[in-house]
Structure 1
Amino acid sequence: MAEIQSLETRQAIGRAAREHAKRSLHAEVGNVDRDPVELLRQNSAGRVEALVPLRYGRMSVSPFTFFRGSAILQAHDLADTANMGVAFPICGDAHLMNFGGFATPERQLVFDLNDFDEVATGPWEWDLKRLTASLAIAGQHMGVGRGPTGEFVATAVHEYCDRMREYAGYSTLDLWHEIVTFERMLETSDNDEGRRTLLKAKEKAAGRTNESMLAKMASQQDGHWVLQDSPPALFHPGGPNTLLGKDEAWSNTQAWENKLAAAFDAYLDTLAPERRALIGQFALQDVAFKVVGVGSVGTFCLVMLFIDSHGRPLFLQVKEARESVIARYFTADGPAHQGQRVVAGQRLLQAASDAFLGWTTGPAKRNFYVRQLRDMKVSAEVERMSNTVLQGYARICGWALARAHAKASGKAVEIAAYVGNGDRFAEALTEYAFACATQNEKDYETFIRACRSGKLEARSDEDMAADFRV
C-alpha cells in the first residue's frame, strides 16, 4: 500500500516545483525548428491512401481546422518545454472542439472531454496549452480582437486553477464522483445569452439518438436494414464505392466474415458481463466505413448497425487507434494495445463513459476501440458564438479539464499549490497561446504552399463526392 502524505506535505511539493519549472516559463512556445509538412506526412503514414488528400483538404479550410488536425506539431514543440513534473494519462488533444455534451449510461446529459484518440501519459500542462492555443486561434479565425481573445484564454486558465483549488479540498471519493451536468452549467451561467445557448444545446442533444440516425443513414431492403453509401463520408468497404485500395479492400467472403466475427467477440470480452448480455439482444444488420473528424481522416473507422426485436437500432463506431502523438514525444509506460490505451484513458478521465466502450484487434492486426456512434452527443458551434458565449464556453472547458485532471491524477492538491492564487500562471499561458497561434499561422502557410505546389494533395469532401456522381 502507498504511504498517504499529509496535505501540508503535498502542498509543499507543489510549491517546490516552481523552483525547477517557473510559472513564467510556460509562456515559451517550445522547439519550432522542424518541417511541419514532413511531420504531417509521418503522421499520415499507414492511413487509407485515398483518404489522406481528404484529411489535408479538411485541414486546409482555415488555420483553425489546420490546428485541429495537426496535434503532432504542438506535441513536438512542447517536448522541450518546462513542466511541473506531474504526469498522468492526459487527453492529448484537448482543443475546444474536443469537449461536448453526451448522455451517461444513466441518461444524464453531461459536459466533458469527448475525444481520446491521443490520450497517453504526459504533463498536464500540455492539455491546458492545447486548450488555450485553440481559443486564441479560434478568436483569430472569428475576427475577434486581441483583447477579447486574451480574455477567452485567461478565463479558461483562471477557471481551471479555481476549480483545481476547489478539488484540492474534495475527498477522494467525492472527486471520483464529481460530474459537470448541464443543470450545473445552467446554474453557474451568469448571463441570459449563455443560458439560452445551453438550453438549445440540451434540446438538440435530446434529438441526437440512435433512432434519429436510422432513417438518415439506412434503408430497409427485404426486411433487412442496409447503410446507404454516401462517399467519401460513408461507404461499404467491399462495395463499388469503396475508397480502400486493393491491398486494403474487403472481399465479401466467408473468411473475412469469420475474421470480423472473431474481432467482435474479442471486443465483447472487454465489456462487463451485463453489457455483453445487452448487445446479445441485438442482431447485426450491416457494416460500413465512415470518415470522421479532421485529424482522424484516413484512419480505419467502421459503423455497425444493429437492430433489436422491436426494430430499434444501435449504432456502434469501431475506430482505429494509432500511437498517440503524446507518447511519441513523452516517454512513459502504457498499454501495448492502442485501443486499450484509448479506453483506459477515457474511463479514467471522463466522469462517465459510454456503456459500450471497449477494444479489439482487427483482421489486419490494426488496433481498434468501440463506442456508440451517437448517444445524445452535441458539439459546440464555435463559429456562431458571440464573444459573450465563447467566453462562457472557455470557462466551462476550463472547468471540465480541471475535473478530468483532478480525477485522473489524484494530484489536485499539488497542482493547485503550484499554480497559486495570483495571475502569474494565467498571464504566462495567455502569452503562450498567442505565440502558439502565431506559429500555427506560419505552419498553415507552409502547409498551404505545399498543397498548392503539389507537394501534398488536398481535396475537399465536395471534390471527392463528385467522383461518384453519374
Structure 2
Amino acid sequence: MNGKTVAEREAAGRAAREHAKRSSHRQVGELHRDPVALLEKSSEGRVPSLVPLRYGRMIVSPFTFFRGSAILQAHDLARVPNTGMVMQICGDGHLLNFGGFATPERQLVFDLNDFDEVAPGPWEWDLKRLVASLVVAARHMRYSRGVAEELVMAAVTTYRDRMREYADFGALELWYDKITFDRMVETALTPEGRRLIRRGMEKAAGRTHESMLEKLAYRSDRDGREVHDGRDNRDNRDGQAGTYWTIRDAPPVLFHVHGPNSLYESEDNWLTQGDWRTLIKPTYEAYLKTLVPDRRELLEHFEIQDLVFKVVGVGSVGTRCLVLLLVDHHGKPLFLQVKEARQSVISQYFKAPAFKHEGARVVQGQRLLQAASDLFLGWSTGPSGRHFYFRQLRDMKLSVDIDMLDSTLLTGYARLCGWAMARAHAKSGNAAIEIASYIGRGDQFAEALVGYAASYADQVERDYEAFIKAARSGAIVARSDEDMAADFRI
C-alpha cells in the first residue's frame, strides 16, 4: 500500500468487488462437516477432566454454544469467497468479546478484549462473526426477526460510516484514536443509554486488584494454614515475614495445581514439577524478558505469593489458565493472568505465515488491534513447551450483560461494537481507504450480511441440536459448574 495515492487505493478497494461481490457475502456455503468432531478436535490438549465442563457451559443455549465454537465458523468461512484484503483480525469478535478496560493512563475505553484467536485473515471474517453473534443473541433473548435484522444493520452501517471517517485520518491520528466512555456518553442516542454507560464507569472503578484480594485470598503461614492474629491482613510491614497470601480453592473454577482439589490427572507432567514455584519460576522469568525495561523494573517491586489454576470463559475452558498473585512492600496486590495460547482457529483455516510462538502472536495482535493495551502484556513458554501470554486479571475490566438490555439498548451496543471493530481494522491493516471503497456508501454490503447472519444463525441451531444429541447419546460428556463443584467439599 505504501507509495500508492489515495485514488489508487480507492480503486484497489473497488477492484476487490470483482472476485468477491458485495452481494456474495450473503453466502454461508455448502457445509458438509460434523460439528461434534470439530469440537472434539479443538478439545485435544486441554485438561481432560475439564473438557466436560467446557461442553456443559456450551450446552446451556445456542448462544453459549456459539461462543465456544469459534472453530466451526472459521472452518465455514474458509469455504466462501473473501475479499483478499488480509490483516491481523481478532478471529473471535462476537458481541461479548468487546468491553471496557483501563488504559495504562487509567482512562476507561471500550474495545475488543479477547485475542486468543488473533491471526492474519480477511477483515470481513471478523464482521461476520460479530453479526452472526448478534442474531444468535437476539433469538436467545426472544426478539423478533425484525429486531435481529436491525441489530445487524446497526453494526454494519456503523462499521461502514466509521471506516469512511478513518479513511480520512492521518497515520498518527488513527493510532491515537480511542473510544473512551466519555465519547460513548456523547454519542449515546437515549438517556437510558447514557445512564447505563455512566453506571458502567462507576462499576469499573471498583474492580481493582485490592478489591479482589480479600475476596479471593487469605493470609497463611509457610505450611498454608490460615493466620488469624487480629491484625489488618493488608498490612505486610510489621514483621509478618513468615506469612503469605494464599488464594482460596473454589473448584472447579479455582484450584491449586498440586493441591488436594486439583483437577489434573495423576499422570499429567505438570504434577512432576514438585510444587507451584518450580512450575512458574522459569516461565515468569522468561516473561519478564518480553517486557520493556520500565515494566520489568516495576515488577521488581512485587513478590510472588501464590499460583492457582483458573477456569475462564466458554471457549477457553480446559486450556491451561493460571492466576499469579504478587504483592509489593506495602502488601498491595497485583493479579496476573497466565493464559495458554494455542493455535488460532483462523490459522487452521486461512493460510498465512506461521507464528513461532503462539503467546507472541496474541500479544502482538492485541497491541496492533487495540487502541491501548495492558501495562503487563507479555508472553512466555511454560512447562511441556506450552505457550502462554500474561496480562492483568480483571483490573477495571467491564463486560455487558446482554440479558439486561432491551432492544433499543442492544441496538446501541451493536453500534458500539461496529465502531470498535472499524477502529481496530483501520489501525491493524492500514486499509481503511480500501475497505471503505469496497463497501461503498450504500446498504448493499450491510443487507448481504443481514442475510448471512440469519442463515448462519440457522446453522448454529442445527449444530447445537447435533451437539445435544451427542451429549444425550453419551458420545460426549457435558457437566455443569454446579455438578462438578458438588464433587468437592471445601
TM over 0.5: yes
C-alpha distance in 1, partners of 2:362/2:108?
A: 22
Q: Secondary structure at the match of 1:379?
A: coil
Amino acid at match of 1:377: K
The DSSP-based 3-state class of the residue aligned with 2:17 is: coil
2:473 is matched with which residue: 434, 453, 456?
453
- Is 1:397 paired with 2:417? yes
1:416 aligned onto 2:415: no
1:233 pairs with 2:253: yes
2:326 is paired with a residue of what secondary structure? strand
Query: 1:186-265 maps to which residues of 2 (within 5 A)?
Result: 186-222=185-221, 223-248=243-268, 250-251=270-271, 257-258=277-278, 260-265=280-285
Match of 2:290 in 1: 270
Tell me the secondary structure at the aligned position of residue 238 of structure 1: coil
Q: State which drifts further: 22-31 or 427-436.
A: 22-31
1:436/1:152 Cα in 2 relative to 1: closer, same or farther (>3 Å)? Answer: same
Greater displacement, 370-379 / 250-259: 250-259
Out of 308, 318, 333, which is 2:328 matched to? Answer: 308
1:332 equivalent in alignment to 2:352: yes
SS of 1:399's partner is helix
- 1:184 aligned residue: 183
How far does the alpha carbon of each residue in 1:187-233 deviate from its partner, in whole angstroms, 9 at most, with x for none?
00110111111111111111111011101110112431000000000
Task: State whether residues 283 and 308 of structure 1, in contact with CA within 8 Å, keep that contact through their aligned partners in structure 2.
Answer: yes
CA 387–243 in structure 1, closer or farther in 2 if over 3 Å, else same: same
- Percent same amino acid at aligned positions? 62
Equivalents in 2 of 1:3, 1:17: separation in Å? 18
Distance 2:305 2:435 in 1: 49
Deviation string, structure 1 residues 114-173 (Cα, Å, up to 9, x no partner): 000000000000000000000000000000000011101100000000000000000011
Tell me how far 1:252 sits from its aligned partner. 8.1
Offset at residue 10 of structure 1 (A): 0.3
Matched, 1:439 2:450: no
Question: Structure 1 unaligned runs (5+)?
Answer: none
Higher mean displacement: 327-336 or 37-46: 327-336
Q: Which residue of 1 aligns with 2:122?
A: 123
Q: CA deviation at 1:106?
A: 0.4
Secondary structure of the 1:111 match is strand
Aligned-pair distance for 1:251? 4.4
Q: Is the 8 A contact 2:270 2:279 kept in 1?
A: no
Deviation of 1:311 (Å): 1.1
Query: In the TM superposition, what is the alpha-carbon distance from 1:186 to its structure 2 partner?
Result: 0.4
Partner of 1:298: 318
In the alignment, the residues of structure 2 paired with residue 337 and residue 51 of structure 1 have an alpha-carbon distance, to the nearest angstrom, of 25
User: What does residue range 129-168 of structure 1 map to in structure 2 within 5 Å?
Assistant: 129-168=128-167
Deviations 1:55-105 (A, max 9, x none): 000000000000000000000000021211110110000000000000000
Aligned partners of 1:31, 1:50: CA distance in 2, in Å?
35
TM-superposed CA distance for 1:255, in Å, is 7.9
Q: How many residues of Structure 1 are paired with residues of Structure 2 in the alignment?
A: 469
Residues 256 and 217 of structure 1, relative CA distance in 2, 3 Å threshold: closer
Once the two structures are superposed, the pairs formed by residues 352-371 of structure 1 within 5 Å of their partners are 352-371=372-391
Aligned counterparts of 1:296 and 1:23: Cα–Cα separation in 2:
33
The residue type paired with residue 302 of structure 1 is L
Q: CA deviation at 1:317?
A: 0.3
Matched residue type, 1:15: R
CA distance in 2, matches of 1:310, 1:62: 46
Distance 1:285 1:65 in 2: 34
Secondary structure (helix, strand or coil) at the match of 1:100 reads strand
Cα displacement (A) at 1:364: 1.1
Q: What secondary structure does 2:385 align onto?
A: coil
Equivalent-residue separation in structure 2 for 1:302 and 1:259 (angstroms): 11
Structure 1 residue 259, shift from structure 2 partner: 5.1
Q: Secondary structure at the match of 2:312?
A: coil
Query: Within 2, Cα distance between the matches of 1:346 and 1:321?
Result: 13
**TM-score of the pair, normalised by structure 1:** 0.98
Kept after mapping to 1: 8 A contact 2:135/2:457: yes
Query: Root-mean-square deviation (CA), in Å?
Result: 1.2
Q: Which aligned pairs between 1:28-47 and structure 2 lie closer than 5 A?
A: 28-47=27-46
Contact 1:90 1:121 in 2 (8 A): yes
Distance in 1 separating the partners of 2:141 and 2:170: 41
Match of 2:373, as an amino acid? S
TM-superposed deviation, 1:352: 0.3
Deviations 1:311-369 (A, max 9, x none): 11000000000000000000001421100000010000000000100000001110000
Q: Give the Cα separation in 1 of the matches to 2:138 and 2:53.
A: 25
Q: CA deviation at 1:249?
A: 6.2
Q: Distance in 2 between matches of 1:254 and 1:458?
A: 32
CA contact (8 A) 2:258 2:275 kept: no
> Given that residues 135 and 148 in structure 2 are in contact (C-alpha distance below 8 angstroms), is that contact kept between their aligned partners in structure 1?
yes
Alignment check: 8 A CA contact 1:92 1:116 kept: yes
Cα offset, 1:383, TM superposition: 1.2
Letter in structure 2 aligned against 1:202: M
Distance 2:372 2:304 in 1: 26
Contact 1:250 1:256 in 2 (8 A): no
User: 2:282, 2:48 → 1: CA distance?
Assistant: 26
Structure 1 runs (4+) greater than 3 angstroms displaced: 249-259
| Counterpart AA for 1:469 | R
- Give the Å deviation of 1:247: 2.4
Comparing 329-338 with 237-246, greater Cα deviation is found at: 329-338
Contact 1:233 1:290 in 2 (8 A): yes
Change (3 A) 1:239 1:250: farther
Superimposed CA distance per residue, residues 243-276 of structure 1 (whole angstroms, 9 cap, x where no aligned partner)? 0111226448668734521111110000000000
Letter in 2 for 1:213: M
Change (3 A) 1:255 1:437: closer
